Amino acid sequence: MTTQSAVIYVISDALGETAEFVSRAAAAQFVGVKTRIRRVPYVRDQAHLEDIMEEAATEQAILVYTLVLKDLREYLEEKALERGLRTVDILGPLIGALAGQTGMDPTHTPNIIHRLDEQYFRKVEAVEFAVKYDDGKDPRGVLFADVVLIGVSRTSKTPLSMYLAHKGLKAANIPLVPEVDPPDELFSISSRKVIGLTVRPELLNQIRTERLKTLGLGATADYANLDRIMRELEYARGIMKRIGCPIIDATGKAIEETASIILEILFKGDRNE
């Protein structure tokens, strides 16, 4: 008994993993059939398709494809018909069904899933970065950050860093304390990457007092002393002016509101470069 064989060309405008998986699942249903699968990724124009079709015709291969661009799908079907090749459109029918069901047009954007994956992993990387370089743990992070937040304790540096991380930005933050010199790295980067945060002394006094209570400490500690807070804020403002960075008064602002201001500052900076 002769062994039957088949050749499948998997053609995609992305990696072609989906079509290859479907092809292997289908081939597994035919015991004793030797199936060779060739994946051809990132097909984006008719010239590339034409080269593939010529090779496929010599092997009478089945063409399994995931092409989101309509003109490429139509071109492939037309040329396959001329050469007597069988085709299987993996995405086309479902895209058409979804369009009919929703009444909306597809974007026809190649590789969109992997673009979304890239966005997801960028966010994960940014969150890990924010955790690693939170509260001045390692000042070297300043050199690799997209944005550096500076300010005295309890000016929302950490929650802002995490919020910006979920926007895909690598944020480091450095606390400013009169008794501790800021890291040298802070003065070696562009001032456009640094954002100073401040809060009115009275509010900061309330916030720190509540913080001490949650820690089971007395509200009379120097940390919550109003005179101490005013000295800290004055010191921090001096550092910010020395750097020449924008300063945001976060008093009464939600994290989202302050983050929006930061993003606007950063966006304008990129646009003006």
Token reading at 157? 């540096």
State yes or no: 151 annotated in a binding site. yes
What's the rounded Cα separation, in Å, for the pair 66 and 195?
Answer: 46
Chain mean position to CA 207: 33
State yes or no: 188 annotated in a binding site. no
State yes or no: 156 annotated in a binding site. yes
State yes or no: 153 annotated in a binding site. yes
State yes or no: 220 annotated in a binding site. no
Contact 165, 149 (CB under 8 A): no
State yes or no: 152 annotated in a binding site. yes
Chain mean position to CA 225: 41
State yes or no: 231 annotated in a binding site. no
Q: What is the DSSP string of 196-235?
A: EEE--HHHHHHHHHHHHHHTT--TTSGGG-HHHHHHHHHH
H-run or E-run covering 135: none
> HEC profile for 46-67?
HHHHHHHHHHHHHHCCEEEEEC
> Sign of dihedral through CA atoms 245, 246, 248, 249?
positive
Phi, psi angle pair for 214, to nearest 5°: -65, -25
Angle at 91 between CA 87 and CA 97, to 5 degrees: 115
H-run or E-run covering 110: none
DSSP state of 180: B
State yes or no: 86 annotated in a binding site. no
Binding site members: 151-158
Binding site members for ADP: 151-158
